[in-house]
Structure 1
Amino acid sequence: MRRVFMIGGAITKFGKHTERNLKSLAAEAISGALADADVAKEALQGVWVGNAAQGVLTGQESVRGQVVLRALGIGGIPVVNVENACASSATALYGAGALVALGEMDVALVVGMEKMYLDDRTRVLSAFSGCMDVEALPELTRNFANQQERVKKGMQRGGAKKKKSRERSIFMDFYASLALEHMEKYKSTQRQLAVIASKNHYHSTMNPLAQYQNSLTIEEVLEAPEVVWPFTTPMCSPIGDGAAAMVICSDEYARRIGARHSVEVAACMIASGEDRSKITESTLSRLAKKAYERAGVGPEDIDLAELHDATAFGELYSTEELGFCPLGEGGVFAEAGHSTLGGKLPINVSGGLESQGHPIGATGVRQLVELYWHLTGRAGRRQVQGAKVGLAQNNGGSIEGAEGALSVTILKA
């Protein structure tokens, strides 16, 4: 097996791009990644494209990658379309990286892209519900509603009745359910979730490509409109548009072209979720251990991490399951400032999904480009000084209260 390197990457600004189509967003990211790698499009030997929702949102099915690539004059090579919920583009890297490692090709492009913002919010929300077992949705919805009703009866919130946000994705209920379980078991708090959200919004002020770039205090996060208890709006990722792209190649190819900025894809591991009632250790925890072993590192060696904070609880949970702190102490870890830029393990210095945004098919590659910029010393004001090893954790979908798809990727300078 050959070593695989990342030699270029680019991201569009995430946000509501009402005046642009998916071809335009993908073209910007792809052209930027190729220019960063100093690789001509004619040199590409394959392209993997991660996209989750264009079929639901625009009717574009089957050949999503070919459609955007043909517009750029890229063809005559394998184009593989990957749909795996929010982990679509991380899964695309898994496939492309395997073929480069096996020697089937020397250089490949990996793209993540999503155009999600529509005036028809019902159609947008249906893209999220389609990332679950649709036959089980009525029962899930009832269970979530019953759990929230028990919360209202059993918790004293105090103060005036909070303003509610607009209609929400069912994934906010899914994460709320997990957060409530964690609160009951470990005594984690809503304030700890606010600490994480406030930290990520602070990080976003240093990221010109983030959808949100505003700093919020802990109190401002807590006082914001409620989405579903215990989440307020700044604790949840927004809907938006964006694309990201990365160029990968063999170690020999990187040497031959004299790649200016290269980092090793030391591990790229994926898994599907499992029935939580039948396992004693989470799927994410076991997947992380496999990634650490493959990369020859441990959690103590990670210099920065980009975690899947579709909600603030997602970051808290992943911080624990990845071994960065003991189970039950993810909130305490954040409160101590360890995950803030300048702390012992900066997490989501991009602003995370909560602030950078979450065009779902683009997020996996976006996380990796962020790590790549830090490992090559090009992250600007948010640079993690001396960073040599970065980890990205991405997941998507849900079945029976567990993740549908998970990925852990480790890059090494």
Structure 2
Amino acid sequence: MRDVYVIGVGMTPFGKHMDKNMKTLAADATNRALEHAGITKDKLQVAVVGNAYQGLVTGQESIRGQVVLRAMGIGGIPVTNVENACCSSATALQVAWMDIALGLHDVALVLGMEKMYMDDREKRLKLFSASADVEVIEMLVQAMKADAERKRKEAEARGETKKEKESKGGSAFMEIYAMGARLHMDKYGLTQRQLAVVSSKNHNHSVNNPYAQYRKPFTVEEVLAAQPIAYPLTLPMCAPVGDGAAAAILCSKKMIKKLGASKPVKILSTVVGGGMDRGFDDPDIGERVAKVAYEAAGVGPEDIDVAEFHDATAFGEVVNTEALGFCPRGEGGIFAEQGHSTLGGKLPINPSGGLESKGHPVGATGAGQIAELVWQLRGEADGRQVEGARIALAENGGGNIGIEEAAMVITILQADF
């Protein structure tokens, strides 16, 4: 297997781009990545494109990647389309990595893209249900909503939370995350305030990220007082719906000098794992996939300098802080409360602002994480730079079956210059 490097990344700002279509967003991200790599589009030999929902939103199926790339004058090369829920473009990166590692091609484009925002709120929230078992998801959501209301009233009676406004309600996945958070609260003592600490930290990080959908700081108290979604989650604890695209240029080691690329970032490992039926106390998907990724990379959690986690809600960051070995199980909330995951802390997590603040255009999310970490490793993350970062980790979950994600990709990167 050959070594594979990222030599350039680019992304659009994530947000509500009502005036742009998928072709425009994809071209913007791709051109930024090519410019960052210092190459032209004629050097690309293969492309892998991640997208989750365009078939449902616009009816465009089957050749999504070919459509957007041909529109910007990229044709005649193999294009593979990848659909894998929220980790579609992270999976696309793994596919491109395999292609180059096996010696099939030397230069690859990885593109993640999504247009999700629409005025019809009910329709856009239902998009997420397509990433779960559609035969059972609605029944489960109703049961989880009832449980959330019961637990909220119990907490209110104990004085642990103030009397709340009527819940705004969210996607099926917000209900799933909220249920996971309540189970964690019951078993380990996680508090709603600790979730607010995570959310406040990520929103404060995003202030210095020009690509973030939201750049407004929040205090812990403001997060707690915000519109409830599903107890214990409030609105700032949840990722917003938006549009965007992100891209990366991968190449083999022998091509770095030929292309004149500078500051290459080596892919130490990129691992795709699947969910399974398990007990609540059994190792979850993050723990299982991380073990493989660490072994393949030859590093451990103690070697990671900066991480981007799939925090579709603040609870996602908490549980993955534990699962990926950065603190003992049950102490993810404490880890955040002690300031370890903030910029300047022991392990800065989501310096981009994470999904909660940077945004979550599903098909673009994984590639967006890679873009942020490449900038971090190259010392180019102005205003949010993790000083001295040399090894980085991205965790990108996708979909849901049972009590865990249906898929997950963990990628470990290293500055190699």
Give the TM-score band, short-chain normalised: over 0.9
Q: Could you say which residue in structure 1 is the equivalent of 2:314?
A: 312
Task: Tell me the residue number matched to 2:202.
Answer: 200
Residue number in structure 1 paired with 2:67: 67
Q: d(CA) in 2 for partners of 1:138 and 1:216?
A: 32
The aligned residue for residue 17 of structure 1 is 17
User: What is the CA-CA distance between 1:139 and the residue it aligns to?
Assistant: 2.5
Q: What TM-score results when the alignment is normalised by the length of structure 1? A: 0.98
Residue aligned with 1:339, SS: coil
Q: Is the 8 A contact 1:349 1:382 kept in 2?
A: yes
When residues 154 and 165 of structure 1 are mapped into structure 2, their CA distance, relative to the original with a 3 A threshold, is: closer
Distance 2:19 2:55 in 1: 20
Q: Aligned partners of 2:399 and 2:258: how far apart in 1?
A: 40
**1:229-266 per-position Cα deviation (integer Å, ceiling 9, x unaligned):** 00010000000010000000101111322311210011
Provide the aligned length of Structure 1 versus Structure 2.
Answer: 413
- Displaced runs of 4 or more, over 4 A: 157-160
**How far did 1:11 drift?**
1.0
How far does the alpha carbon of each residue in 1:21-71 deviate from its partner, in whole angstroms, 9 at most, with x for none?
Answer: 111111100001011111221111110000001111111111111111011
Give the corresponding residue for 1:412.
414
Q: Secondary structure at the match of 2:266?
A: strand
Amino acid at match of 1:214: K
Q: Which secondary structure does the structure 2 equivalent of 1:154 belong to?
A: helix
Equivalent in the alignment of 1:351? 353
Classify 1:219/1:20 alpha carbon distance in 2 versus 1 (closer, same or farther; 3 Å). Answer: same
Distance 1:62 1:213 in 2: 35
TM-align CA RMSD: 1.3
- CA displacement at 1:113 relative to structure 2: 0.4
**1:378 alignment partner in structure 2:** 380
| Alignment of 1:151 onto 2:147 | no
- Please tell me whether residue 120 in structure 1 is matched to residue 120 in structure 2: yes
Aligned residue number for residue 132 of structure 1: 132
2:93 match: 93
Code of the aligned partner of 2:2: R
The CA distance in 2 between the partners of 1:299 and 1:219, in whole Å, is 31
8 Å Cα contact 2:168/2:228 also seen in 1: no
- Whether the 8 Å CA contact 2:108–2:250 is kept in 1: the answer is yes
What CA distance in whole angstroms lies between the structure 2 residues aligned with 1:245 and 1:165? 36
Which residue number in structure 2 is paired with residue 291 of structure 1?
A: 293
2:145–2:230 Cα contact (<8 Å) kept: no
Deviations 1:273-324 (A, max 9, x none): 0102398212210210111111111000000000000000000000000000
Matches within 5 A, 1:209-288: 209-277=211-279, 280-288=282-290
Query: What is residue 325 of structure 2 aligned with on the other side?
Result: 323
SS at match of 1:271: strand
Distance 1:235 1:279 in 2: 25
SS at match of 2:204: helix
| Aligned-partner residue type, residue 33 of structure 1 | A
Match of 2:400 in 1: 398
- Check whether the contact 2:168–2:227 (CA below 8 A) recurs between aligned residues: no
SS of alignment partner, residue 221 of structure 1: helix
In the TM superposition, residue 367 of structure 1 has moved relative to its aligned partner by 0.3
After alignment, is 242-251 or 158-167 more displaced?
Answer: 158-167
The structural deviation recorded for 1:154 is 3.0
Say if 2:42 is the partner of 1:42: yes
Q: 1:185-217: per-residue Cα shift (whole Å, max 9, x none)? A: 100100000000000010011111110001110
What letter corresponds to residue 192 of structure 1 in structure 2? Q
Unaligned runs of 5+ in 2: none
Q: CA shift at 1:180, angstroms? A: 0.6
The alpha-carbon deviation at position 153 of structure 1 amounts to: 4.8
328 and 70 in structure 1: CA distance in 2 versus 1, 3 angstrom threshold:
same
Structure 1 residue 350: Cα displacement: 0.2
- Judge conservation of contact 2:141–2:176 (CA < 8 Å) in 1: no
Distance, in Å, in 1 between the alignment partners of 2:176 and 2:150 is 16
| Inter-CA distance 139–165: structure 2 relative to 1 (3 Å threshold) | closer
Name the counterpart of 2:26.
Answer: 26
The TM-score normalised by the length of structure 2 is 0.97
Matches within 5 A, 1:150-169: 150-156=150-156, 158=159, 161-169=163-171
Q: Is the 8 A contact 2:46 2:78 kept in 1?
A: yes
Q: 1:160 to 1:96 in 2, by over 3 A?
A: closer
Q: For 1:330-352, what per-residue CA distance to the aligned partner results, in whole angstroms no more than 9, with x for missing partners?
A: 01000111100011100000000
Q: What SS class does the counterpart of residue 17 from structure 2 fall into?
A: coil
Q: Shift of the alpha carbon at 1:165?
A: 5.0
Residue 334 of structure 1 corresponds to which residue in structure 2?
336
| Equivalent residue for 1:363, pick from 349, 362, 365 | 365
Q: State the AA in 2 paired with 1:387.
A: A
CA distance in 1, matches of 2:21, 2:84: 22
